[in-house]
Amino acid sequence: MLRFCVHYGIHFLLPIVIGLYFYKEHRLQIILILLAGILIDLDHLLANPIFDSNRCSINFHLLHTYWAISGYFLLLFFQKTRVFGIAFLIHILADTADCYLM
């Protein structure tokens, strides 16, 4: 239960908190972008089985590899892509927490 709450709390509550606290002027748009970071889970469709509750996503799925994660960090350095980098890194944080709580 703790694993579920931490994982999905990071996925859904953290983007809302960041959007409300740091992006007051465009909060709804930013929150939606941050929540859309979960779309990198589309790479799970390439795995067999698609979902395995006992599998760590980090460095297993294509968009969860260390190479992809380093690309997400690079997005932080440019103002036009910063929110997308934050969205993807929030997702990676949630999946990393999930791996540690397995």
Number of domains in the chain: 1
- pLDDT score recorded for residue 42: 95
Please report the pLDDT score of residue 72 as a whole number.
Answer: 98
> Is it the case that residue 13 has pLDDT exceeding 90?
yes
Distance in angstroms (rounded) separating the CA atoms of residues 74 and 30: 19
Tell me the residue range of the domain where 41 lies. 2-100
Residue the block writes with tokens 């795995």: 47
d(CA 60, CA 43) in angstroms, rounded, equals: 10
- Residue 44: per-residue pLDDT: 93
Give the pLDDT confidence score for residue 18 in this predicted structure: 97
Residue 51 binned pLDDT confidence (cut-offs 50, 70, 90) = confident
Return the percentage of the chain with pLDDT > 70, whole number: 100
Band (53; pLDDT cuts 50, 70, 90):
confident
Query: Tens digits of per-residue pLDDT, 60-78?
Result: 999 999 999 999 999 999 9
Burial 1-28 (b: 16+ CB within 10 A, else e): eeeeeebeebbeebbeebbeeebeeeee
